[in-house]
């Protein structure tokens, strides 16, 4: 959301820089990545949490949301086609993915922005590592540490959070 906003809005007078971690720059490809057998655990975990949320929302908005058949949903695409897209004015999951992804907006960013996506992030396919764009871009910077998983960056000392430290370093530089 941060990167999409920066790309859509152009030059900012109040936002001096931004740091983001574990960014699914292309939502559709990230949704497909989670459908791979190696990521089944994560997908099931997410769907279980989403079911709980949709169940609560169905009680608040029974005319808009039905939980009937939720157990048959086996992918983010199915969830997004059934809930996300229609509830937020999108045609379908593909329309949502293309509209909400930050990837197409990265080249328009004119505020220093650091993207940190770990190489071993199980949610991010190759499309979420904008190497070529960041190489020649004046404002978009990409760091790809070998480890970190999905927002799992840490330090060897429990009192120190590597993500917070790196974000502070980048933002403080501007």
DSSP 65-81: ---TTGGG--SHHHHII
Write the pLDDT tens digit of every residue in 65-122: 999 999 999 999 999 999 999 999 999 999 999 999 999 999 999 999 999 999 999 9
Which SS3 state, helix, strand or coil, does residue 18 take? Answer: strand
Taking the whole predicted model, whether its pTM rises above 0.85 is answered as: yes
Write the pLDDT tens digit of every residue in 106-138: 999 999 999 999 999 999 999 999 999 999 999
User: What DSSP designation does 108 have?
Assistant: G
| Domain residue spans of the chain | 2-25+102-172, 30-98
Mean pLDDT, residues 41-45 taken together: 93
């Amino acid at each position: 959301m941060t990167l999409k906003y920066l790309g859509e809005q152009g030059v900012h007078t109040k936002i001096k820089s931004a740091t983001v971690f574990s960014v699914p720059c292309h939502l559709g490809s990230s949704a497909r990545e989670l459908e791979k057998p190696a990521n089944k655990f994560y997908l099931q975990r997410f769907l279980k949490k989403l079911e709980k949320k949709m169940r609560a929302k169905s009680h608040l908005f029974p005319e808009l949301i039905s939980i009937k058949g939720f157990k048959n949903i086996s992918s983010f695409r199915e969830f997004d086609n059934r809930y996300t897209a229609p509830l937020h004015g999108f045609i379908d999951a593909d329309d949502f993915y293309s509209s909400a992804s930050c990837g197409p907006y990265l080249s328009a960013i004119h505020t220093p922005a650091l993207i940190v996506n770990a190489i071993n992030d199980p949610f991010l396919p190759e499309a979420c590592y904008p190497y070529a764009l960041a190489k020649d871009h004046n404002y978009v910077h990409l760091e790809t540490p070998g480890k970190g998983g999905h927002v799992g960056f840490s330090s060897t000392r429990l009192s120190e959070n590597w993500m917070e430290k790196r974000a502070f370093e980048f933002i403080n530089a501007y």
